[in-house]
Structure 1
Amino acid sequence: MLRIKQDSVFSTQQPQQQYVPLKQVSVEAHIRSFAADATIKQVFRNDETKPIEAVYCFPIEEQAAIYSFIARIDDREIIAQLKEKKEAQKEYSDALEQGHGAYLLEQDEKSQDNFIINVGALPAGKECHISISYVSELDLVENGSRIRFVVPTTIAPRYNPNKGGISSPAGTTSKYVQTAPYTIEFRCQVEKTNISRVSSVSHPIQIQLGQENVYVIEFAQKNTHLDRDILLDIELNSNRSNTIVAVEPGAVMASFTPNAEDCQRVMNNVETTNEFIFVIDCSGSMRDENKIGLAREAMLLFLKSLPLNCHFNIIRFGSTHQALFNEITAIYNEQNAQKAEQLTNQLQADLSGTELLKPLQWIEQHPPGQGRARQIFLLTDGEISNVNEVLDLCRSMATSTRIFSFGLGNSPSRSLVKGLARTTNGRFVFIPPNTSVDIHVGEQLQKALQSCITNIQVKWHLGANVMSAPTKIPPVYANNRLIVYALANNPTFVFGHNSSVELRNDRSRLGDAKIDCIPN
């Protein structure tokens, strides 16, 4: 979304928000192992009769890192530099006051999957070409059998509890426009190693099979609109190793994906009583795309699948929150299961706003008892503005609580849904409209009941001093992936063919891999 900044040095008071038409968008991506390198190019034109200051908001995948930002107007080219935020903002304002073109790229602090470009002074009748490149880890889905590459192409209106209503991204006051007046070009190369098939559940695609080492994927239809996220599913070979490496000069990435047998070999079989708390978004936005229907369907399946002697509760939330039981959890028996089923069948999107923080604060104030493991299942479209505040609270609960988050609909907040799971060592899943929830409910419940492999150690045999990341290795579950990195002190160092990586815990060796493909 590109708009004319109303409080800029060029603007006058406008009764309605004005937009600058975006003429063209293209996405080029290269996928190797479990990582993607993507470049988004945008062209937009100032059709006004005077210079404007333009602001553009765009969504980017959570866990992505931008490494290049280039803007061009006529023969001028601006290449971004990384600077401290306040320093960058001051330099940007100074440049505008002098009538120079200036560009400012920031992350939306309250909703981490939105970035903001202040394009600066754009002369009348001129086009601005912007190119943004980023790298991102890719998610495992379908019980670890597929990798999913996502390019978010829509920004849902985020609910801001401080304002009591829907706000547009980046704090604009404009009404959200559902239908984008421009189209997108998409081209993606997927390296064939360990890959058996590529498909898309979001858009018709065509795949070129002629190249020896890569699949080339493009849209099958020319007039594809920016009305939904691009989802590309990459199916893995069934006979692959549980440890895979990718290497570049100065860096190695290793992914470890244990199967059920791997976990069984090293898991602690300590018996615990499980608590299951279901937190269901009943805000007004859940009416769209029948997201509340997906939540009802998922809840009915959960209620039929809970283990005996567990404890549970259901919390509906919107502008307020309401719990099925007054105590934090109740025993799962026939009587309580009937109450829960009755409530589930009556679920409606009738609680106005999306204030997730309050029910989570209520849960945090009632910690689980001794010998109990608490699992929270959150079903939401994630349309909130205070993402960081919610994540900070959940991070403080992580020693006793895991969150399994379900992002419903075409455009949930990926930073919220993923962040809740990652900060609590839980898991997440995204469920588009008109899809079955059965497999997702079963997978998430199975993962909630799993023990995990802990105390993992990574041993690098690379012939050089390296820095390993992350420094603290999180628990890993069956058919879920752990990614670790080794970074050489010399970024141009070339690793040899005898290089390898080994993963162990205090009980046994978990996996290993040798580096057998060295890039030129």
Structure 2
Amino acid sequence: MDNTTWQRPAGAYWFVLPALPTLIGAVLALLVISASPARAVPAAEIGAGHMQWHSDGSDSYQAALTQHSKLSVTIAGMVAVVQLEQRFENSTDSWQEGIYSFPLPPEAAVRQLEMQVGERRVLGKVRERQQAKKLYQEARVAGKKAALVEQQRANLFTNRIANIAPGEQVTVRLEYVQPASYVDGEFALRIPTTLTPRYIPGVSALRGLEDQTGAQAASLSVDQYLGWAKPTIRVPDADAVTPLLYPQTGSDFAPLNPMSIDVDLDAGMPLAEVQALYHEMALSRRGDRYQLTLLNGISEMDRDFELRWRPVTGAAPQAAFFTEQVAGQYYGLLMVVPPALVQEDEILPREQIFVIDTSGSMAGEPIEQARQSLKLALAQLRPQDYFNVIAFDSDTRALFNQAMPANRHYVAQASEFVRHLYAGGGTEMLPALERAFRNESSKEEQGAQRLRQVIFITDGAVANEQELFDAIQAQLGHSRLFTVGIGSAPNQWFMQGAADAGRGFSVQVSKIDQVSAQMGQLFERIAAPLAADLSVSWPQQVEAWPSRVADLYRGEPLLQSVHFGDALPAGELLVSGQLAGKFWQQRIALAPQPGGAEQPGVASLWAKRKIASLLSQLAISASEEDIRPAVLDVALTHQLLSPYTSFVAIEEKISRDVNAPLRSNALPNTRPRGQGAQPYAYPNTATTGPANAFLGCFALFIALLIYVMRRPEEDHVSKDS
């Protein structure tokens, strides 16, 4: 018998080596696919706006279709009361807990929750956040139907619905109040309907934590969420602000997340124009009241709903005063519109720093809107102005080392720079803002009298908003920050919050054909001198929010929410300040409008503004230990959602046998209209995810190469046994 020892010739390895690049590429492709949080579950067949129930015994998901989402808006004067209704049905054969995230306007005062199952209705109550979680968890374990609504951001909320029986339908209704804005003689109301995925900066705070998707979702506690992102050092609640699945594509022709909209508008004055900017609406009128409904009945929830109305010439208010009585206490909302007093020769030279977001969330129509906005911004520069352009995604790049004169040469360079901007990468805003606020002018130039204005063009798709607000307040200096919201569903809370911290204002550009009008309005307003040092003197002691009136720009009104106590004041109030460098004052009789009637929602708006003002102190010097009790007192008294309170609704009847398994899963949103497909996300480490994957494979290739080259050639020996 021959006992032969066979050794593969070393030369055979060299035959395999040419194929290694292809193999490495295939490995990289597999790594990229596995690194995408959007592919944590087989989501190709899952549509947006569907409650996702996990199928027991597999990693697949079965969709429980959203039957309908309904937005009912009642507007009186400049206050809107909105009811958001969403109906879901469990189409699986097992008990389910649904978890879904949804946006609301950042200024919305959420004041009512109702859960309906069949003919049974359960009203929710506001409780301290941890207490609400405990009550919900106890009901969830006991088999009782329950709903829990929590605020994750001022414009982002999470709803959990426990113990939905197979084939059962559940309806959740939220009611909130929001004010209409008023600028340049036009009212506007904007309501978000979907989420733009937020970028999560920072290194993971939970290294080694298992991915909690698929079958593991059933064991999630009430303190855990199904977000695609895990907590990081800079965003410790990343899992709460990122839904399980990236938004899915939908359309009005075949909506995956259908929504109906009904509006009842009573402006209290004759109107010259009423229009919905992004939806086709049918309009009817009865006297001075207007009713609007969607022309086709339903639409896809893939862009913000915005309604605008303009009074007829001569009917636009110079002042308005709205009141409401709640529990024996009187509240008011004041609006005063200063006159526009500006001469062209009064406009100072400017130093304008344009910051443009080129991250992955800007892909598609948003980056084109941003380029067009910046193109118009460059065109409005005057020879006496200075400027610079800063682009950012994962990195920050400035066109010039310092602000340059706006002559033909430098503007042409900037135009070419803008033309080659494309979307991709992460959204690292902080370095870009720090670069923009850095004054790099020479001493001679710094001595010149110039208005320093930073125009920030972005969709605001970040989760570290508070970190950015703090940085803006700390580093702003003499600059002013103006934000331009881009896309169908920008992060309104960030856009407005950044502008407030930067002592500027925000505008929105949601469609290409809006760029010219919106950017023109922006530059017309920031060119005008400020209405500064404003103060309001009331005829009696009041609690007004904001307590200090901010500077105003041309066409922008003064707004204050007021608590009077147990009696309305009589007489008149005095508004005064510096307008175009000159002293200005106006006396206003305290007569409620419109028509002397009370305005539902005014008290809720006052409470919401007080909570916002209290929370803003956290970024300055106040401690959470001092602010939290004050916020809780207001939120519990007025039954409002806040960072420290939640809505919980519990049905006393036990529905599910505690021995029956309960599955937990999430609801994705519709991708914002016009936004390109998002690139894959990678862990945030010392190097980028793609770099780690490539370097790992390259190191493996080098190790294999060295191993092959160092192997000695061996003779093949045959021995006879």
In which range does the TM-score fall when normalised by the shorter chain?
A: 0.7 to 0.9
- Give the drift of 1:12: 5.8
Match of 1:29 in 2: 73
Q: 1:138 aligns with which of 163, 180, 186?
A: 180
Higher relative contact order (Cα pairs below 8 Å, separated by 6+ residues)? 2
User: What amino acid does structure 2 have at the position aligned with 1:439?
Assistant: A
Q: Say yes or no: does 1:227 pair with 2:302.
A: yes
Query: In structure 1, what residue type is equivalent to 2:359?
Result: S
In the TM superposition, 1:7-18 aligns within 5 A as 15-16=59-60
**Match of 1:354, SS?**
coil
1:235-250 matches, cutoff 5 A: 235-239=310-314, 240-249=316-325, 250=330
- Distance, in Å, in 2 between the alignment partners of 1:253 and 1:175 is 39
SS at match of 1:339: helix
The residue that corresponds to 1:254 in the other structure is: 334
Quick check: 75-84 or 54-63, which moved more?
Answer: 75-84
Please name the residue that 2:381 is paired with: 306
Output aligned runs, 1:487-502, within 5 Å. 487-490=563-566, 493=567, 495=568, 499-502=571-574
Unaligned 5+ segments in structure 1 are none
Residue among 84, 90, 99 paired with 1:40: 84
Correspondent of 1:396 among 449, 474, 482: 474
Note the alpha carbon deviations across 1:57-91, whole angstroms, 9 max, x for none.
11111211101111122354332222222232233
User: Which residue of structure 2 lines up, in the alignment, with residue 438 of structure 1?
Assistant: 516
Give the aligned residue type for 2:80. Answer: A
2:528 to 444, 450, 463: 450
Q: CA deviation at 1:451?
A: 2.0
1:486 alignment partner, one of 562, 569, 586: 562
Q: Following the alignment from structure 2 to structure 1, what is the Cα–Cα distance between the partners of residues 228 and 525? A: 34
SS of residue paired to 1:306: coil
CA contact (8 A) 2:460 2:494 kept: yes
- d(CA) in 2 for partners of 1:475, 1:215: 34
Amino acid at match of 2:425: S
- The 1:504/1:99 distance shift into structure 2, 3 A limit, reads same
CA contact (8 A) 2:386 2:405 kept: yes
Which whole-Å deviations, capped at 9, do the CAs of 1:347-382 have from their partners, x for residues lacking one? 222x42222122113334558746553211111222
Decide which of 323, 342, 358 is 2:431's aligned counterpart: 358
Q: Whole-Å Cα distance in 1 between the matches of residues 370 and 587 of structure 2?
A: 38
Q: TM-score, normalised by structure 1?
A: 0.87
Partner Cα separation in structure 2 for residue 135 and residue 372 of structure 1: 40
Provide, for residues 277-297 of structure 1, a one-character-per-residue CA deviation record: whole Å limited to 9, x for no partner: 1111112332322x2222222
Pairwise CA distance, 1:124: 1.6
- What pairs up with 1:21-100 in 2 under 5 angstroms? 21-100=65-144
Contact in 1 for aligned 2:97/2:162 (Cα 8 Å): yes
Q: CA shift at 1:399, angstroms? A: 4.8
- Equivalent pair of 1:280/1:295 in contact (CA under 8 Å): yes
Q: What 5-or-longer segments of structure 2 have no aligned partner?
A: 1-48, 205-226, 230-238, 599-721
CA contact (8 A) 1:195 1:234 kept: no
For residues 101 and 297 of structure 2, what CA distance do their matches in structure 1 show? 24
**Corresponding position: 1:215 with 2:290:** yes
Separation (CA, whole Å) in 2 of partners of 1:195 and 1:343? 47
Counterpart residue identity of residue 36, structure 1: A
Contact 1:160 1:166 in 2 (8 A): no
Listed as ranges, the matches of 1:53-452 within 5 Å are 53-109=97-153, 112-141=154-183, 144-162=184-202, 170-179=241-250, 180-196=255-271, 197-210=273-286, 212-239=287-314, 240-249=316-325, 250-261=330-341, 274-289=350-365, 291-327=366-402, 329-349=403-423, 351-364=424-437, 366=439, 369=446, 372-452=450-530
SS of the aligned residue for 1:125 comes to: coil
Deviation per residue, 1:416-463 (Å, 9 max, x gap):
2222112222121111223142222222123223221122121334xx
The structure richer in strand per residue is 1
SS of the residue aligned with 2:532? coil
Aligned partner of 1:133: which letter?
A: E
Alignment partner of 1:130: what SS? Answer: strand
Contact conserved, 1:155 with 1:169, CA < 8 A, in 2? no
Deviation, structure 1 residue 471 = 0.9
Number of residue pairs matched by the alignment: 498
Gap change, CA 1:313 and 1:213, over 3 Å in 2: same
Offset of residue 247 of structure 1: 2.2
Preserved contact between residue 108 and residue 115 of structure 1 (Cα < 8 Å): yes
Decide which structure has greater helix share: 2
C-alpha deviation, 1:206, in angstroms = 1.9
Name the CA shift for 1:169/1:88 in 2 (closer, same or farther; >3 Å): closer
Question: Displacement, 1:126?
Answer: 1.2
TM-score w.r.t. length of structure 2? 0.64
Q: Secondary structure at the match of 2:531?
A: coil
Question: Structure 1's 182 and 310: CA in aligned 2 closer, same or farther, altered over 3 A?
Answer: closer
Task: Calculate the aligned-residue CA RMSD, in Å.
Answer: 2.9
**Aligned mates of 1:364, 1:398 — CA distance in 2:** 6
How many angstroms does 1:101 deviate by? 2.2
DSSP-derived class of the 1:102 partner: strand
Contact 1:145 1:238 survives alignment (8 Å): no
Using the TM superposition, give the Cα deviation of residue 23 of structure 1 relative to its aligned residue in structure 2, in angstroms: 1.1
TM-superposed deviation, 1:233: 1.0
Q: Measure the CA separation in 1 of the matches of 2:477 and 2:547.
A: 18
Q: What SS does the corresponding residue of 1:101 show, helix, strand or coil?
A: strand
In structure 2, give the amino acid aligned to 1:332.
A
Q: Residue 356 of structure 1 aligns to which amino acid in structure 2?
A: M
Q: Distance in 1 between matches of 2:529 and 2:57?
A: 60
Query: CA 1:155 to 1:260, structure 2 compared with 1: closer, same or farther past 3 Å?
Result: same
Decide whether aligned partners of structure 1 residues 188 and 324 sit closer, same or farther in structure 2, where only a CA change above 3 A counts.
same
Instruction: Label 1:194 to 1:40 Cα distance change in 2 as closer, same or farther (>3 A).
Output: same
Task: Tell me, yes or no, if the aligned pair for 2:526 and 2:553 is still in contact at 8 Å.
Answer: no
Does the CA contact (< 8 Å) of 2:393 and 2:425 recur in 1?
Answer: yes
Report what 1:466 is aligned to: 542
User: In 2, distance between residues paired with 1:499 and 1:518?
Assistant: 15
The Cα offsets for residues 166-224 of structure 1, whole Å up to 9 and x where unpaired, read as: 869833332321225242222211114234121112112122212x3421222222232
Structure 2 CA distance for aligned equivalents of residues 433 and 241 of structure 1: 29
1:510 aligns with 2:586: yes
CA contact (8 A) 1:452 1:475 kept: yes
CA distance in 2, matches of 1:247, 1:256: 15
